[in-house]
Each structure stands twice: as structure tokens, then as C-alpha cells.
């Protein structure tokens, strides 16, 4: 792997010390980069400083001394070459507003958040550009793909996608991230990479519901396949490239999130399938299951643009309208029959 980046010269900040933000910080720190990590909770900062562990969000992983946790956002953002934003999608707008005043002119922002904003239906890069309109193409990239944080810090072989409309930016971020155990691929399809990463969380909730009902492997395979079709059709409608959805940010991330025990979205769905109420499930979770909020965004966006997305729609109705999972499945299975490859 050819990579001649001077780790001492590249200044990196990571905003967000959840599981994925901590994993990204550890990945980079283990390569020799000094990483400033913005932490929201005082006790999490203290744990990282004193014990080199984020016991709340990434327990069991011993973190590099090259990670410097801070509660001071300015300290993490100022004078950085690369700034990774790894915050829940519903706070991305507020965070982008806060960092916009602190950014250096040449800072490259990498969004590693997966979601669609409820009110505007923008992806995370769209939110960032809406709040910081002066950002040019060279200054923005997105990160997605099948990558559970807990496995990345264990150095399990992992593949991800880095997308930017500027090829040099994509290549730079690719080389910064890549290691013998994490391989990054470049893409110029920001829309497709972000939509794949966001909507797969909704399908994962549906797959979890099916598993909670013990419906079997046939049902799970059908949900993944038809779910991918819904993601692809939404992507085509919004200008994404069709091949993106057979790649890492499409089918790769979808399979992982729909089948992996570490998936928060699958877990939420499974508990619903087993009879628990959504509000009770969420009250017990430390980390965010992005698919819950994204389900609302996808439902409203698809209605607005006139796109049929039956699995996403039924998942929304289960989450927000208290529809019985069994009734939702019946409606899916008794829809009008059609050709498998109908586009819309």
C-alpha cells in the first residue's frame, strides 16, 4: 500500500466521541496521527484521559495516547487539515453552525454521519453545505460502508467508501484512512454513498422486526433484496449513480446492518418484533439508532417526490403510527403484483 503522508504534518480533529467517532480517532492515532477528539460528556473525557478507554460508547478498546480528548470545540476544530464530523444526524445542523465560524480556509470536512434531516430532507453533506455555503468541492467528503466500530478497533479487515466530488480530496482522505486492516475505496458519488448509508438503517429496522417475529431466513433475504431496490430507486430519483448501490455503501452496508448483532437499528427492530414499545426501547439505549429518525425523513421525502417505497413506508407506520408488524407484513405481501424490475 503506497502512502507517503507525513503523519506529523497533518492536523486532524474528530468531532463526536460515540462509538464510530472514537473508532475513527483510534484508527488514525494508531497510524501515528495526533488526533484531537471533541467529547460532549465530562465523564467520557475523564475515562479516555485516565484509563485510555471510552467505557460508555466503545468499551474494551484500549485507546492510543495520540488521542487528545477535549470538551472545547474550538480546540478540536481550529487550524485542522482534516475534520471528521461524527455526530448524530439530528444535531448535524447545529454542529455545522458552531464549527463554521472556526474552520480554517483549507480544512477538509469529512462527514461520517448517516442520516437524512427530517425537516429539509437533506443528507448530511447537504446540511453542511446549507449551513456553510462557502465550502467548495475540495473541502468536503463523506465516509460510509460496512464498518462496525467495535470491529474496526479490533483491526478486523474492513472496507469503506470515501466520496468527494473532488478527486484529489477523495484520494487524500483515502490514504489518510487506509491501513493493512482498513481499506478505503474512492467514489465521486456523494449522493449515492450518503443515501445508501442512511436508508439502509430503515431497512435494518424492518429486518430486525422480521427476526423478532422469527419469520426466518427467506423473509430476511427478501427484505434485504427489495430494500436495496428501494434505496436504489430513491438514489436514481435524486441523481445518484446506480452502480454505487452494488458497492460498499449500498449492498455492503445494507447486509451488515440487517444481519449483524452489533447493529443498533436491527436491535431496535428485533425488540419491536418481540413486542416491546419503541419509546421503552429508546429510553434504554445509550447510542442513537439513526434509522428511527431517518424512517420519518424517507417517508416524507418519498411522498413529496412521488416514489413508492413500501418497506420504508410500512416501517414508518410501525414506528410512528403504532401499526402492528403483522398487519404491515400482510399489506406488503398482498400489494398489487408487478414485474420485479419496475423502476418506480
Asked if residue 231 lies in contact with residue 245, where contact means CB atoms within 8 angstroms, the answer is: yes
Q: How are beta strands 35-38 and 12-15 bridged, if at all?
A: parallel
Which of 45, 129, 200, 270 is labelled catalytic? Answer: 200
Is 200 an active-site residue?
yes
Asked if residue 294 lies in contact with residue 206, where contact means CB atoms within 8 angstroms, the answer is: no
d(CA 40, CA 72): 9
CB atoms within 10 A of CB 75: 14
d(CA 108, CA 110): 6
CA distances from 92 to 132, 145, 286 (A): 12, 19, 18
- 112 contact partners, CB below 8 Å, separation of at least 6: 20, 21, 24, 84, 85, 86, 142, 143, 144
Asked if residue 88 lies in contact with residue 287, where contact means CB atoms within 8 angstroms, the answer is: no
Q: What are 221's three cell numbers? A: 433475504
- As beta bridge partners, residue 103 has none
d(CA 315, CA 325): 8
Burial call 111-140: b when 16+ CB within 10 Å, e when fewer:
bbbbbbbeeebbbbbbbbbebbeebeeebb
Q: How are beta strands 35-38 and 67-70 bridged, if at all?
A: parallel
Backbone phi, psi, residue 60, to 5°: 95, -15
Burial of 275 (0-12, 13-18, 19+ CB in 10 A): exposed
- As beta bridge partners, residue 69 has 37
CA distances from 309 to 234, 236, 257 (A): 8, 13, 19
Catalytic residues: 200
Amino acid at each position: 500500500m503506497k502512502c507517503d503522508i507525513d503523519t506529523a504534518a497533518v492536523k486532524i480533529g474528530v468531532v463526536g466521541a460515540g462509538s464510530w467517532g472514537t473508532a475513527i480517532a483510534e484508527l488514525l492515532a494508531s497510524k501515528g496521527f495526533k488526533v484531537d477528539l471533541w467529547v460532549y460528556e465530562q465523564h467520557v473525557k475523564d475515562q479516555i484521559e485516565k484509563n485510555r478507554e471510552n467505557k460508555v460508547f466503545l468499551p474494551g478498546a484500549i485507546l492510543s495516547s495520540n488521542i487528545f480528548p477535549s470538551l472545547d470545540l474550538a480546540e478540536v476544530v481550529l487550524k485542522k487539515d482534516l475534520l471528521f464530523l461524527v455526530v448524530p444526524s439530528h444535531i448535524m445542523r447545529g454542529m455545522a453552525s458552531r464549527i463554521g465560524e472556526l474552520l480554517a480556509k483549507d480544512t477538509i470536512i469529512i462527514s461520517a454521519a448517516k442520516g437524512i434531516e427530517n425537516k429539509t430532507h437533506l443528507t448530511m453533506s447537504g446540511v453542511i453545505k446549507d449551513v456553510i455555503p462557502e465550502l467548495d468541492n475540495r473541502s468536503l467528503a463523506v465516509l460510509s460502508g460496512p464498518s462496525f466500530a467495535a470491529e474496526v478497533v479490533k483491526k478486523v479487515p474492513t472496507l469503506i467508501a470515501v466520496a468527494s466530488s473532488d478527486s484529489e480530496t477523495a484520494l487524500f482522505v483515502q490514504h489518510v484512512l487506509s491501513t493493512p486492516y482498513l481499506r478505503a475505496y474512492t467514489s465521486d458519488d456523494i449522493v449515492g454513498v450518503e443515501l445508501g448509508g442512511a436508508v439502509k438503517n430503515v431497512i435494518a429496522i424492518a429486518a430486525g422486526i422480521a427476526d423478532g417475529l422469527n419469520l426466518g431466513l427467506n423473509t430476511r433475504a427478501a427484505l434485504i433484496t427489495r430494500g436495496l431496490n428501494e434505496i436504489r430507486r430513491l438514489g436514481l430519483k435524486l441523481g445518484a449513480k446506480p452502480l454505487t448501490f452494488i458497492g460498499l455503501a449500498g449492498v455492503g452496508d445494507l447486509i451488515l446492518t440487517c444481519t449483524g448483532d452489533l447493529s443498533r437499528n436491527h436491535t431496535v427492530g428485533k425488540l419491536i418484533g418481540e413486542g416491546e414499545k419503541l419509546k421503552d426501547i429508546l429510553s434504554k439505549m445509550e447510542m442513537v439508532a439513526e434509522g428511527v429518525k431517518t424512517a420519518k425523513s424517507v417517508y416524507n421525502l418519498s411522498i413529496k417526490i412521488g416514489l413508492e417505497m413500501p418497506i420504508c413506508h410500512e416501517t414508518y407506520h410501525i414506528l410512528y403510527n403504532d401499526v402492528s408488524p403483522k398487519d404491515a407484513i400482510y399489506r406488503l405481501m398482498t400489494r398489487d403484483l408487478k414485474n420485479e424490475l419496475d423502476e418506480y
